[in-house]
Amino acid sequence: MSQSLTDFAALLRSARTSAVHLEMRDGYGVDNEIDGFAAWKRGHRLDPDDRSSWWRPWLDLVREVTANGVLIRRARVVSEPVSDYIAFEHSGTFTNVAAGEDIRWLPRRSASDLALPGNDCWIFDSRVVQFNIFDGNGRWVHTDQTEDRAVVEFCASAFEAVWERAIPHERYTV
């Protein structure tokens, strides 16, 4: 399934109570982040006081959805020491938190005994799972969605197991 940000926005806006995101890669080659990652590697950092410079339209969408009472949580399973990409993500995560996301980090070594899905995923209202499929270089390939109850329950259980062990963003250092 091909998906645009507009399609995803509609899916996120359809959530009534929760949207959770499980990320498990140490690097992404997502087109809309490549320039920011390159700038970060050259020393550029986001200014907490300059919200207009933050990632749009994503953060606006998060603010809209959370203002409607939807809890958005993101859990990241990461290798340590972290990759440059994860350090880049960590340095900008304050923007996601300011927009309304609750984010936690789990060192991969603490996830060894957890059953996890094979791909990153979003779970909306414990009713639908969207898997984000990436190639070996971290480039997004496509999405798969399912409402299969067993898959939804497995992914939701995996997310909650990670969430329970993970470290809140404000306490996790890279």
pLDDT tens, residue by residue, 85-121: 999 999 999 999 999 999 999 999 999 999 999 999 9
Q: Look up the pTM and report it.
A: 0.92
For residues 126 and 142, what is the distance between their CA atoms, to the nearest angstrom? Answer: 21
Structure tokens at 17: 């109570």
76: closest CA among 66, 85, 64? Answer: 85
For the domain made up of 5-171, the CATH class stated in words is alpha beta
pLDDT tens, residue by residue, 147-161: 999 999 999 999 999
166: closest CA among 119, 126, 109? Answer: 109
